[in-house]
Structure 1
Amino acid sequence: MTDTLAAYSLLLAYSAMAVYAIAFVMYVLDLSRRTGTAEAAAVARTPASTTAAAGARGGTALLERVGTITSRVAESQSRSVNKATRFQRTAFALTIVAAVVHLGAIVLRGLAADRGPWANMYEFSLTGTGIIVVVFVVINLWRDVKFLGAYITGFVVLLLGLAVTNFYVAVTPTPPPLQSYWLYIHISVAMLATGFYAVGGGLSIVQLLQSAREKGRLAKWRFLQTFPSSASLEVMASRLIIVGFAFWTFTLMAGAIWAYHAWGRYWGWDTKEVWTFIIWVVFAGYIHARATRGWRGTRSAWLAIIGLAAVLFNFTIVNLFFQGLHAYSGLTTS
């Protein structure tokens, strides 16, 4: 029964990957469509201004009327730039479908293991990517950040593909130190924090691109005209990162308590503990710098991206190449 449930879980994981990949293509087509719409709006504004200038120089009433009509057309096209395209609506619907299939894979893996499905690298990848997508979908109830869809689905397809091809292991008994209710508390909150960090980091990446466009660079990336301003992106990113930081702080504290119950000490300078603390310091520095030093714009965005890179390093390199008490990847013996 265990092997059967695990096999169905893996099948659903592959299915979710396929749907995410289709959604990714739809999001890219949406960006392409927005590029064309932005170019059309830019072209439409040019004759409007030219015609209006001709009218100001004493042109005929017909020219003035044509200028008014052209101006209205330009305004209508400009408003349409920011509307959701059918590609984006389709992509977001597919993202939700994929998330449901993904959730099924997580549940079946948990049933197969008879525990929380995050005791090794494969399970953590499976569940963590699912949480990232859920966070992304829920955030859209607060702010429309569907323009991050290509980033989120591409990121998830990459991590899920890495998990099923390189990290997959059969269901095994839980190691003694993990046989604790802290497995559910500590790890689940860490993954939730990672979800907020991932979306916040994506907003920071877009912020850098938008800032470059606003300064006259990346002028050919016209789809950025349909995104919020760099200032708005920074505000959204900072709020999500603050939420992620709160969850990460709890993760650090819960990990120390769990370490005391498992190994008889709160802190032991284990590699995983050190990198968890480094991530906390980076994002604490991000929040502190914005609050007291007035770090705004590109500097704060780079700090957020460095923090996200540290999270990914902690999950991949530290788990795969460093030995320690937290060596539970399932790929090597501890």
Structure 2
Amino acid sequence: MPVDESLSTFSDWSYGSAVAVYLLAMIFLLVEQAFGRTARAAAAGRTARAAALVGAGAGGSSVVQADQTDQSDQSDQDRPRITPGVVSTPQRSRPERFGRMGAALIVLGALLHLGSIVLRGFAAGRAPWGNMYEYMSVVCFVAVGTWLALMRKFPIRRLSAFTLLPVVVLMFIGGTALYTTAAPVQPSLQSYWLVVHVSAAASGSGVLLVPGVASLLYLARKANERDPGRFVKLAARLPEADLLDRLAYRTTIIAFPVYTFGIFCGAIWAESAWGRFWGWDPKEIVAFVAWVVYAAYLHARATAGWRGNRAAWINVVGFAMTVFNLFFVNLVTTGLHSYAGV
């Protein structure tokens, strides 16, 4: 099937636009992360003062009488009116508005990102994950989609910049050093297992990016609690360690079955294509080691004696193995697992 160059060009433009939008969202979210705590403290102070004034006005105390005496020369229209029992809702602070705009930009970037993947698939006439550039794009999109879903459940919007950082870095590397023009895949990949196995592997790896970042932030938060002067500028603004721990654990629970399914599908595809389920290929070995590490993390996290730092370190090791498998194994070592154009 011939490649549609126009759709391929539009896909590349959408990809570049998504990276730019993600980067702008990072800037807005870093503003909220840097200044949001001070703004929230100031807003809390204003709310407390307003509540005190309401209480004083409702009780008809001497504060109101003194206010009437001191402002006797003002007209009724100029005097502030305080309604007893009613506290006006404070306006959103400027850092919070930046944060909300950053979240909206993430949604916009995700739509552009999805458009680039869909257009790439139509341009090449196949599943849009047949080479490293496309695979990296799908992994990053799944990571962003996972984060958007978690933002609706947990108060973690201020952490979005930390999740977008590896996404932007991976997409920049994919769009420059690993970029490949749209083309048909090599014969070994022309199978329906390309849709099943590779999509499951990409989805599992993308979701696992989120708990990896959460565990790193958890370790930074715990280190700051032990030694407040060590990571005070960063960790003091992070959510509670318990929230980060639950975020990493629950996300890994979702990703682990998908990742396991991808490994089993890969074994079935290997038997169909090469006549064996396991061939000690470098990618097979590293993928299985990463699976064992994540299984150990879930077991350790579910055991009371292994919660906390030790479980988080296991999760970080699993995250490192996933990144190692994505880059080093695919690009440096030689084996049966290779992508078209790489």
Q: In the TM superposition, what are the counterparts of 1:52-131 in structure 2 within 5 Å?
A: 85-131=96-142
**Superposed displacement of residue 82, structure 1:** 11
Q: Would the aligned equivalents of 2:39 and 2:95 in 1 still touch at CA under 8 Å?
A: no
**TM-score where L is the length of structure 1:** 0.82
Q: Give 1:26's match in structure 2, choosing from 21, 25, 28.
A: 28
CA offsets 1:154-190 (integer angstroms, 9 cap, x no match): 2211111111111111222222221111111111111
Which structure: greater helix fraction?
1
Q: Give 1:280's match in structure 2, choosing from 272, 279, 291.
A: 291
Letter in 1 for 2:168: V
Matched residue of 2:126: which SS?
Answer: coil
CA offsets 1:121-142 (integer angstroms, 9 cap, x no match): 0110122211111111112222
**Superposed displacement of residue 290, structure 1:** 2.4
Distance in 2 (alpha carbons) for counterparts of 1:107 and 1:81: 37
Letter in 2 for 1:93: A
Q: Give 2:168's match in structure 1, choosing from 154, 157, 161.
A: 157
Matched residue of 1:198: which SS?
Answer: helix
**Superposed displacement of residue 293, structure 1:** 6.6
CA offsets 1:262-313 (integer angstroms, 9 cap, x no match): 1111111111111110110111111122234721111111111111111111
Residue matched to 2:331: 320
Q: Would the aligned equivalents of 1:24 and 1:154 in 2 still touch at CA under 8 Å?
A: yes
Matched residue of 1:85: which SS?
Answer: helix
CA separation of 1:257 and 1:223: change in aligned 2, threshold 3 A: same
Larger Rg: 2
Q: Give 2:15's match in structure 1, choosing from 13, 16, 19.
A: 13
**Runs of at least 5 residues in structure 1 that lack an aligned partner in the other structure:** 45-61, 63-75
Matched residue of 2:185: which SS?
Answer: coil
Residue matched to 1:308: 319
Cα RMSD, aligned residues only: 2.8
Letter in 2 for 1:34: G
* Aligned-residue identity in percent: 38
- Count, aligned residues: 300
**Runs of at least 5 residues in structure 2 that lack an aligned partner in the other structure:** 46-62, 64-86
Distance in 2 (alpha carbons) for counterparts of 1:41 and 1:241: 36
Letter in 1 for 2:111: V
Distance in 2 (alpha carbons) for counterparts of 1:113 and 1:215: 53
Q: Would the aligned equivalents of 1:320 and 1:329 in 2 still touch at CA under 8 Å?
A: no
Q: Give 2:270's match in structure 1, choosing from 252, 259, 269.
A: 259
**TM-score where L is the length of structure 2:** 0.80
Distance in 2 (alpha carbons) for counterparts of 1:322 and 1:256: 20
Matched residue of 1:269: which SS?
Answer: coil
Matched residue of 2:305: which SS?
Answer: coil
Letter in 1 for 2:180: V
